[in-house]
Amino acid sequence: MSGAGADDVPELGPLPERIAVNVGQVRRLVAAQFPHWADLPVEPVAHGGWDNWTFHLGTTMSVRLPSAPEYAEAVAKEHRWLPVLAPRLPLPVPTPLAKGGPGEGYPYAWSVYRWLDGETARADRIADPVRFALDLAGFVVALQGVDAADGPRPGLHNWYRGGTLRTYAGKADRALTALDGRIDVGLAGEIWRHALDARWDGAERWFHGDLAQGNLLLDDGHLAAVIDFGTCGVGDPSCDLAVAWTLLTADGRRAFRERLAVDDAAWARGRGWALWKTLVGYANAPDGGEAAASSRRILDEILAEYTNGTSR
């Protein structure tokens, strides 16, 4: 998508309408399609994510069922590519064990995975922010080093991650309009335009697509696993830099960039990925709530880092 003109850039609409899935339905699906697991208990996973409904299957497995047809696009991709990526990465990633199909009133393909233990990587749970940043950067380096030939290019399966930021221009512009009077929209708009103008060299590399706290697992405060590859693909990997502003400390951000040897243009695009997602989240968050406070904190990080000229 690097050479797409304005008329070729897809405009992303609202989030898909999700379908509901319950424990009984999952038990019936497992029993019908994988009877050797029929006697294992099924329990919902707390905070299982948005794109998929996630359930424990016994003590060592999980069941993931896409919550909308757009998210179901990723199932075949994960089964095709995770076994290729996993042995080349320095941290555990999900291992697909079986792929199910529609049934029991559920309309999409779904997956059984090996369960990975760990707690989500909130900033206050990270033992050493710089070590965490370096470990995460090492993971990104290894992922980008995997041969990108024949890998999945940007598309609906990953919401066009790996393509041009202009895909998200409509969302960003609407969020800036909605936030006028609440934030410095002039400065935020300048950062956004700077990101849009930062050119990609066209070298396709693998990316995860959603390196966020919910997809990074800790063991005793240290990075232990990376999960949820539904948005992975090959293309411009700058989308994986957004975590530098959304989760890392200032010191961690500097260590992360140095380990990755990121040039100014890629860093600007990564900042743009963090910015548009934060603007949209902030514009849609109720005033005074936790989501609004988190968005404001991230936005302040983005504005301050850009204003201070540490990487412009």
pLDDT for position 1: 29
Task: Report the pLDDT value the prediction gives residue 278, as an integer from 0 to 100.
Answer: 98
pLDDT at residue 231 greater than cutoff 90? yes
State the angle between helix axes of 264-284 and 169-178 in degrees (0 to 180), rounded to the nearest 10: 50
Between 312 and 55, whose confidence is greater?
Answer: 55
Residue 13 maps to a domain = no
Ramachandran class of 35: left when φ > 0, alpha when ψ lies in -120 to 50, beta otherwise = alpha
Looking at the structure, do residues 77 and 178 belong to the same domain, yes or no? no
The rounded distance, in Å, linking the Cα atoms of 15 and 167 is: 15
Q: What are the tens digits of pLDDT across the range 86-109?
A: 999 999 999 999 999 999 999 999
Same domain (yes/no): 207, 153: yes
Residue 198 lies in a domain: yes
Domain check: are 177 and 131 in the same one? yes
Q: Is residue 5 part of a domain?
A: no
User: What are the pLDDT digits (tens) for 140-150?
Assistant: 999 999 999 99
Strands of the sheet with 222-226, listed across from one edge: 119-120, 216-219, 222-226
Q: Rounded mean pLDDT of 64-90?
A: 97
* Domain final residue, candidates 81, 116, 151: 116
Crossing angle of helices 185-197 and 264-284, in 10° steps, is: 140
pLDDT digits (tens, 9 = 90+) for 176-206: 999 999 999 999 999 999 999 999 999 999 9
Is the pLDDT at 283 greater than 70, yes or no?
yes
Q: Residue 3: its pLDDT value, please?
A: 31
Point out the domain boundary residue: 116, 147, 170.
Answer: 116
Domain check: are 126 and 152 in the same one? yes
Q: Which helix (H) or strand (E) holds 96?
A: strand 96-100
Q: Is position 14 within any domain?
A: no
Q: Is 184 left (phi over 0), alpha (psi -120 to 50) or beta?
A: beta
- The verdict on residue 1 lying in a domain is no
Question: What confidence score (pLDDT) does residue 40 get?
Answer: 98
Q: Is the pLDDT of residue 4 over 50?
A: no
Is position 9 within any domain? no
Query: Does the pLDDT at position 5 exceed 50?
Result: no
Residue 19 has pLDDT above 60, yes or no: yes
Which CATH number belongs to the domain containing residue 87 in this structure?
3.30.200.20
- Whether 102 and 170 map to the same domain: the answer is no
> What's the longest Cα–Cα distance across the chain?
60
Write the CATH number for 281.
Answer: 3.90.1200.10
Q: How far apart are CA 151 and CA 5, in angstroms?
A: 23
Site of tokens 């697992």 = 217
CA distance 49 to 92: 19
Which pLDDT tens digit goes with each residue over 119-148?
A: 999 999 999 999 999 999 999 999 999 999
Separation CA 156–CA 158 (nearest Å) = 5
Same-domain pairing of 101 and 32: yes
Mean pLDDT of 250-278: 98
Residue 13 has a pLDDT of 66
Q: Tell me what pLDDT residue 311 has.
A: 44
Q: Are residues 112 and 232 in the same domain?
A: no
Residue 46 has a pLDDT of 87
Kindly state whether residues 167 and 236 are assigned to the same domain: yes
Is residue 273 a part of any domain in this protein?
yes
**pLDDT-based confidence at 68, cuts 50/70/90?**
very high
> pTM for this structure?
0.94
Domain that holds residue 271: 120-307
pLDDT at 8: 56
Domain count, the chain: 2
Residue 56 shares a structural domain with residue 103: yes
Q: Are residues 162 and 288 in the same domain?
A: yes
Q: And the tokens for 102?
A: 């529609």
Phi, psi of 160 (to 5 degrees): 65, 25
Name, in order, each residue with C-beta under 8 angstroms of 189's C-beta and a sequence gap of 6 or more.
176
Q: Note whether 112 and 124 are same-domain residues.
A: no
Q: Are residues 142 and 287 in the same domain?
A: yes
Calculate the average pLDDT of the chain: 94
Confidence of residue 312 (pLDDT cuts 50, 70, 90): very low
Domain boundary among 64, 87, 116: 116
